[in-house]
Amino acid sequence: MAVINQPNSQIRLTNVSLVRMKKGKKRFEIACYQNKVQDWRQKIEKDLDEVLQIPQVFINVSKGQVANNDDLMKAFNTTDQDQIVLEILNKGEIQLNEKERNANLEQKQNEFLNIISTKCINPRSKKRYPPTMIEKALNEVKFHLNPAKATKTQALDAIKVLVEKQIIPIARAQMKIKITLTKKAYQKVYENEIKPKIDHLEELDNNGKHYEITGIIDPINYRVLVTLLEEKDLKNEASLEVLDMSAIKET
């Protein structure tokens, strides 16, 4: 808990989050409410009074050391507290306390496990694993989330490890789709643009009027294919249908 000493009173700051900015050899701080800085930066919170505990620039919040005008002028070329507070709030480094760090880590861990859970299945049952089981398997292979790195990238790396080690029967969930094309559309886009997006071609049927292509794709390519068919102006000449959201490419 920080204590601010002022001439006629002592203000106690609880649940404080610091935002810090270094200018030259001086470090400047502002005191904000927990979890409000990110809300402000994401434009969720627009009321500055809901973000700042005290609309004042400090050299050291915990010691109650207020920045003097000389220091502010040298560092920011102004003594306007409101202007300086906004610069620190928008561009400064957020100093998280232990409670906030733990909450952020828990949020990232949950996001990390959920990404893996939604992208993988048990190839035998074709069902997804709950995040708790994913976490247990990752602990066995000693793969742990690094909170300083991108969550999605680490999730994809973790999937590769899990698929390789097979601590539990696990595979990337893929999509089984059917694309129907007129002869004209088939000649226009299949060979160079659709075919490369299909990991495993199960069937290609030509009934004389239409081509029906059934295959397995990585889910990331679903939106690519939908966009492709729209951009090529094939509205009445092509269709895409999802047959299975938890398919597996046979090897």
Domain count, the chain: 3
pLDDT grade, residue 144 (50/70/90)? very high
**pLDDT averaged over every residue in the chain:** 87
> Which pLDDT band holds residue 232 (cuts at 50, 70, 90)?
confident
Structure tokens at 26: 């001086």
Same domain, 156 and 226: no
Same domain assignment for residues 87 and 116? no
Average pLDDT over residues 164-193: 91
- Provide the pLDDT confidence category of residue 8 given band limits of 50, 70 and 90: very low
User: What is the per-residue pLDDT across 117-134, written as a single tens digit (0 to 9) for each?
Assistant: 988 999 888 889 999 999
Least confident range of 12-16, 91-95, 96-100, 142-146: 12-16
Shared domain check, 190 and 151: no
The verdict on 88 and 124 lying in the same domain is no
Give percent above pLDDT 90 in the chain. Answer: 51
In this model, does residue 3 exceed pLDDT 50? no
DSSP 101-161: HHHHHHHHHHHHHHHHHHHEE-TTT--PPPHHHHHHHHHHTT----TTS-HHHHHHHHHHH
Instruction: Give how far Cα 10 sits from Cα of 5, 14, 136, 144, Å.
Output: 5, 13, 49, 44
For 69-82, what is the mean pLDDT?
93
* pLDDT of residue 81 exceeding 80: yes
202 and 148 fall within a common domain: no
Which range of residues forms the domain containing residue 74? 2-95
If asked whether residues 113 and 67 sit together in one domain, one would say: no
- Domain match, 226 and 239 both: yes
Indicate which CATH number applies to the domain containing 218. Answer: 3.30.70
Q: Give the CATH number, domain containing residue 68.
A: 3.30.1250.10
pLDDT at 15 over 70: no
Residues 236, 201 share a domain: yes
Residue 251 pLDDT > 60, yes or no?
Answer: no
Last residue of a domain, one of 95, 125, 143: 95
- pLDDT at residue number 14: 57
- Comparing CA positions, the residue from 43, 54, 67 lying closest to residue 14 is 54
pLDDT band at 13 (very low <50, low <70, confident <90, very high): low
What CATH number does residue 156 fall under?
1.10.10.900
pLDDT per residue as tens digits for the range 204-227? 999 878 999 999 998 888 999 998
**Co-location of 153 and 76 in the same domain:** no
The last residue of one of the domains, among 55, 75, 95, is 95
Contacts within 8 Å (CB) and 24+ apart, 121-128: 121/170, 121/171, 121/173, 121/246, 121/248, 122/168, 122/169, 122/170, 122/171, 123/169, 123/170, 123/171, 123/248, 124/169, 126/246, 126/248, 127/246, 128/173, 128/246
Give 2 or 39, the one with higher predicted confidence: 39
pLDDT at 1: 47
Check whether residue 183 and residue 206 sit in a common domain. yes
Each residue of 17-60: pLDDT tens digit?
899 999 888 999 999 987 788 889 889 999 999 999 999 999 99
Domain boundary among 172, 203, 232: 172
181 shares a domain with 153: no
Q: What is the mean pLDDT of residues 222-249?
A: 83
Tell me: do 11 and 89 sit in the same domain: yes
